[in-house]
Amino acid sequence: MFTPDPTDHQENLCNGYPPIKLVNRKTETERTIVKVAGAELGGTDIVIIAGPCSIESKEQLKAIADSVKNSGARILRGGVYKPRTSPYSFQGLRDEGLQLLSWIRKETRLPVVTEVMDPRKLELVCQHADMIQIGSRNMHNTPLLNEVGQIRKPVLLKRGMAATIEEFLFAAEYIVKMGNEQVVLCERGIRTFETSTRFTLDISAIPLLKRLCHLPVIVDPSHGSGQWWMVPWLSKAALAAGADGLIIEVHHDPARALCDGGQSLLPEKFQVLMDELKKLAEVMGRKISV
Ligand code: PEP
Ligand code: MN
């Protein structure tokens, strides 16, 4: 049995709450492997998820999907229901975007991940996506967590931008408690006093989550920084800190992107990054999933 050290956070976590029972790691070797179509997260392989922040059109989606696939991305991302700060910003193609998601999935044979905000859309989105994303703004939405806990699709749970590690793990616990054990945690940056970056990427969350919890941990360096040029640095830092994967925004024409262009990598920059990540993975005794 894995007996945590008395100074271990596993002992200190859950302060004032009933303990975390399901997602906490109980033995030294306990790890959950989450399967998304053929891709496996949480094992030796590192899984790279890439694609546009938002699906904007058939042409945009095809251009980006083809390029990230050629560079070695294993799962395609693409938002159709977008959580935007301003109600006047592009909200995503919504239901119409789901058709494009199904189309590109067949066209490229890449599994797709997309965000659901409204539990009433969950069943519909499940018909088009291979993995359901719960965004940062919805990490605390317990009715939504309970709903995704009842589906049989893997869930990508992003850390709330102001959530503690404990709150993050309890959010995962909601999903697993309802019966869905296929949960991937995603560190995507937190709010701090720093305003030079969009969020502050919490690198220490990676080893900490992996020590406390048996679920795979991936990192979003795009939202974590808000700046495209920082994405390669943070991606490598995340891998070095033990991340099981990355989710990266890529756009072929960032200046004209309807959402998050400033943090999106050009396809050619993504290709260079993938080459670097392959080498780094090897040094770490891992490999990038193909
Ligand atoms: C996203 O991945 O498109 C997104 C909105 O991320 P987050 O929920 O982390 O802000
Ligand atoms: Mn985005």
What was the pLDDT predicted at 3?
A: 44
pLDDT value of position 150: 98
159 lines ligand 1 (CB under 6 A): no
Strands 217-219 and 183-187, by their bridges, are: parallel
Q: What is the pLDDT of residue 70?
A: 98
Tens of each residue's pLDDT in the chain, 290 residues: 344 454 554 544 555 677 899 999 999 899 999 999 999 999 999 999 999 999 999 999 999 999 999 999 999 999 999 999 999 999 999 999 999 999 999 999 999 999 999 999 999 999 999 999 999 999 999 999 999 999 999 999 999 999 999 999 999 999 999 999 999 999 999 999 999 999 999 999 999 999 999 999 999 999 999 999 999 999 999 999 999 999 999 999 999 999 999 999 999 999 999 999 999 999 999 999 99
For residue 218 the two structure tokens come to 């991936």
Residues by chain with Cβ below 5 Å of ion ligand 2: 53, 260
> What's the start-to-end Cα distance of the chain, in Å?
34
Ligand 1 site, residue 51, Cβ cutoff 6 A: no
Query: 160 CB under 6 A from ligand 1?
Result: no
82: CB partners within 8 A, 6+ apart: 53, 54, 89, 90, 91, 92, 115, 259
Give the tokens for residue 253: 């024409």
The runs of H, that is alpha helices, within the chain are 9-12, 58-71, 95-108, 122-126, 142-148, 165-177, 205-212, 221-225, 231-240, 267-283
What pLDDT was estimated at residue 95?
Answer: 96
Secondary structure (H, E, C), 88-125? CCCCCCCHHHHHHHHHHHHHHCCCEEEECCCHHHHHHH
- Report field, pTM of the whole predicted structure over 0.85: yes
- What local confidence, expressed as pLDDT, does residue 18 receive? 76
